[in-house]
Amino acid sequence: MSNGDRRLVIALLLVSAFTVILNETIMGIALPKLMDELEVTASAAQWLTTAFLLTMAVVIPITGFLIQRLATRTVFMAAMGLFSAGTLLCALAPGLGMLIVGRVVQACGTAIMMPLLMTTVMSLVPASSRGRTMGNISIVISVAPAIGPTISGIILHFLEWRWMFWLVLPIGLGALALGMLRLQNVNVPRKVPLDVPSIPLSALAFGGVVYGLSALGEGHGGLGPALWALGVGLVALAVFVARQVRLAPQGRALLDLRTFGVRVFAVSVVMMGLCMMALFGMIILLPILLQKVLGLEPLQAGMLLLPGGLVMGLLAPWVGQTFDRIGARRLVIPGAVLVCLGLGSMALLGAGSGVWQVLAGHMVLSVGLALLFTPLFTSALGSLPPHLYPYGSAVMGTVQQVAGAAGIALYVSVMSVRAGALLGTGVPPVEATAAGVQAGFLMGGLVSLVLIGASFFVRRPPDAPRP
């Protein structure tokens, strides 16, 4: 394959991945408007986000098998075809039920796209220049979810909610058409055994954990069902892990967990999970602070979050190039410190805080995350032998979804407990909400201390890992 063909494949996958990942967080600010127009309750509307996360968590573990068993072009067509079909369903949906179905179909395509992108990049790009390309992938992973609320706020300010899908649909269809015409296969499909019992086990495990955490964080369904789902998910996860460990030496594992036997991969994945907790927790708590405490409109809140997303996007290519020169440690250590400082500064925000204080804390956190994402992705996957790339990509995608749901659950649960306790003592609602948000960010800052400790163990992988 020529260099031009390689660049076309990677560019097409990057644009497609950015488009599909953007939809993961685009619904947050839209939920109040959808509740009014569709005449549904908050707990029912939350399923638009929960169903998306749940489907992602169920489908991603299977992608390691799909990427090896099917040609690159076939997998891409399936991903963008599902995403485009789901987007059309959402745009045409007459009510909440069809809208949720459309979100589920969208999520199926999204879940396939990210592991496909990372596996393809690891196969096509030489180790000496992977940092630069992974920097572009970091734009997809971090910036797309971060600016989702901003784009949603802008669209809802000028147009009705269906335009969130009508505006995305031509991009999805365009990528699908270009892939049909120009995308080349970069892999050689091989017959990989499929362990059928692992599929329902995986769905029960990751689906139960993500649903339980999401239900705890978003407050729908009640505490009892959420804890039951989380408990069932954890038990199924233990059985799933035991089965994968037993089947891996035979080459029959659905998700080969021998990736965790590589220390750099294991440390990087743990750090990536903590980063996603910080990112999704921030995406949830900051709009609450801006709208319910500081009294901003959705459009204003969305625009205030835009500079941080842009900073992550602008820094990502530079971070990738710097990684290629100096390695991971001199990037991830200051990045971890900045994430901790950013979350800590947000724990000081309250009803009397100025907008510039919110912006400053958000920018510090965004710079820290930008310094972390690219080195962690590159170090994690680059430390694996090539035959484990598909499984490593699937593991990282699964961890991101579970960690995102865990971040939402942790931050919002702490916020709710603190705010509820203060409301019971007669504290005004605005002050109680502000104190709850502070408690949520303080918890995030304490958890992020682990990032600083783990950052000293990240290494740049060798240029040519051996199978």
Tell which residue, 101, 56, 61, 106, has the closest CA to residue 81.
106
Confidence of residue 28 (pLDDT cuts 50, 70, 90): low
3-class state of residue 457 by DSSP? coil
Residue that has been written with the tokens 């986000």 in this structure: 49
Q: What does pTM read for this prediction?
A: 0.81
Burial, 222: exposed, middle or buried (Cβ in 10 Å; 0-12, 13-18, 19+)? Answer: exposed
Half-sphere exposure of 193 (CA within 13 A, CB side): 12
Radius of gyration of the chain (CA): 21
What's the chain's average pLDDT? 85
* Domain CATH for 404: 1.20.1250.20
Q: 286 in a domain, yes or no?
A: yes
- pLDDT category at 354 given cuts 50, 70, 90 is confident
The three-state secondary structure class of 83 is helix
| φ, ψ dihedrals at 353, nearest 5° | -75, 150
Q: Are 464 and 130 in contact (CB under 8 A)?
A: no
pLDDT > 90? residue 85:
yes
Structure tokens at 122: 């690891």
What is the pLDDT at residue 467?
34
Task: Judge whether 295 lies within some domain.
Answer: yes
Residue 465 has pLDDT above 50, yes or no: no
Give the angle 68-71-75 at the CA atoms, nearest 5°: 90
Per-residue model confidence (pLDDT) at position 1: 61
State the Cα–Cα distance between residues 22 and 141, nearest whole angstrom. 9
Contact 291, 304 (CB under 8 A): no
**d(C-alpha 75, C-alpha 68), whole Å:** 10
* Res. 132: pLDDT tops 60: yes
Q: Look at residue 29 and tell me whether its pLDDT is greater than 80.
A: no
pLDDT surpasses 70 at 466: no
Instruction: Tell me how far apart the alpha carbons of residues 90 and 67 are, in angstroms, rounded to a whole number.
Output: 27
In a domain, 190, yes or no: no
d(CA 147, CA 303): 9
CB 283 within 8 A of CB 25: yes
157 — pLDDT class (breaks 50, 70, 90) = confident
Its domain, for residue 388, covers 3-181+197-455
Q: Mean pLDDT over residues 140-162, rounded?
A: 80
Distance from CA of residue 210 to its chain's centroid? 13
Would 176 be classed as within a structural domain?
yes
Residue 465, domain member (yes or no) = no
Asked whether the predicted pLDDT for residue 464 surpasses 50, the reply is no
Which range, 81-90, 145-154, 457-466, has the best average confidence (pLDDT)? 81-90
Q: 375-422 pLDDT, tens per residue?
A: 998 888 888 888 888 888 888 888 888 888 788 778 888 888 888 889
Give me the number of domains the chain comprises.
Answer: 1
pLDDT at 144: 77
Question: pLDDT digits over 181-239, tens only?
Answer: 888 887 778 887 888 899 999 999 988 888 887 777 665 556 788 889 889 999 999 99
Q: pLDDT (tens digit, 9 = 90+) per residue, 309-352?
A: 888 888 888 998 898 888 888 999 999 999 999 999 999 988 88
CA–CA separation, 69 and 279 (whole Å): 33
- Residue 429's pLDDT is 87
Residue 125 maps to a domain = yes
Mean of pLDDT values over 432-445: 90
276 inside domain: yes
Q: In the structure, what pLDDT confidence band is assigned to residue 425 with cuts at 50, 70 and 90?
A: confident
Q: What is the pLDDT of residues 56-73, one digit of tens each?
A: 888 888 888 888 888 889
In a domain, 463, yes or no: no
DSSP string, 73-124: HHHHHHHHHHHHHHHHHHHH-SSHHHHHHHHHHHHHHHHHHHHHHHHHHHHH
Closest by alpha carbon to 274, among 430, 428, 450? 450
Residue 270 contacts residue 454 (beta carbons within 8 Å): yes
